[in-house]
Amino acid sequence: MNTVIFRTIAPTLAAIMLVFSIFVLLRGHNEPGGGFIGGLIAASAVAIYGIGASVTEVRRAIRLDPLSIAGVGVVLAGASGLVSAFFDVPFMTSQWLAFEFADSEVVLSTPMIFDIGVYLVVFGTISAVALALEEPEQ
Amino acid sequence: MVDLFLVLSGITVALAFGLALYRFVAGPLAVDRVVAFDTLTIISVTGIVLVALAANRIVYLDVALVYALLSFLGVIVAARYLEGGE
């Protein structure tokens, strides 16, 4: 769309939405949120940027093919379940790792890695669909 | 005092919603309906924020934020379709 207002605001809005999507993703375990809704917000950021700028510019900005991002997400989500194999418990049993870092407690877990995988899958798939729809027909 | 203001703003939001809904139903052109739809979503976001205040649940504010961001995308796509999809 060729309006000055939208072309100016689209990159800023996309950046804010991407940051918010990561916030929603990382908050997801104990409060509302998670990988799926975070991925949806990030994909809509890509869609807004694609309408405001152009599809080629979006493809240059995210560097990787969206579908390969989705593939990495599937591998990540599956690999997070394999961690439990080292502890002699059933597949996908949660493993937690808590440590002190800079005066605050950081808690890492396999559900978080699984959630990041879901985020990448949703982001890759939905933005691949959105970019394919926005691309001018040959 | 806070309760009074909550009730007053609730009445205002309901009035605005009714007016925008009338334009959404009656609007002679598709453009009128798109603008009315945008107005309706903004008024809904206001309603969600009021509910968050009344129920004292911070989480509802995130719902309002996500709704505001995503409804913008919907209106953009509708505007592009009306423009002729170039």
Give the pairing of strands A104-109 and A96-101: antiparallel
Minimal Cβ distance to B69: which of A17, A33, A51 = A17
Write out residues in chain B with pLDDT < 70, as ranges.
Answer: 85-86
- Interface predicted TM-score (ipTM) over 0.85: no
| Structure tokens belonging to residue A34 | 């998670």
The predicted model scores a pTM of: 0.82
A29-48: average pLDDT:
86
Residue A138 has pLDDT above 70, yes or no: no
- What is the spatial distance between Cα A3 and Cα B57, in angstroms, rounded to a whole number? 38
Residue A103 has pLDDT above 90, yes or no: no
CA neighbor of A21 nearest in space, from A97, A13, B52, A130: A13
Residue A27 has pLDDT above 90, yes or no: no
Alpha helices in B1-86 (DSSP H): 2-26, 30-55, 59-83
CA neighbor of B75 nearest in space, from B31, B45, B44: B31
Residue A46 has pLDDT above 70, yes or no: yes
Q: Are the beta carbons of A51 and B79 separated by less than 8 Å?
A: no
A-interface mutation test, from B48, B73, B75, most A Cβ less than 10 A away: B73
Amino acid in the structure at residue B18:
G
Which residue of chain A is at minimal alpha-carbon distance from B73? A48
Minimal Cβ distance to A32: which of B59, B70, B72 = B59
Residue A26: per-residue pLDDT: 87
Q: A58-72, A97-111, B19-33, B37-51: which range is least confident on average? A: A97-111
Residue A137: per-residue pLDDT: 67
More confident residue, B49 or A30: B49
Amino acid in the structure at residue A21:
S
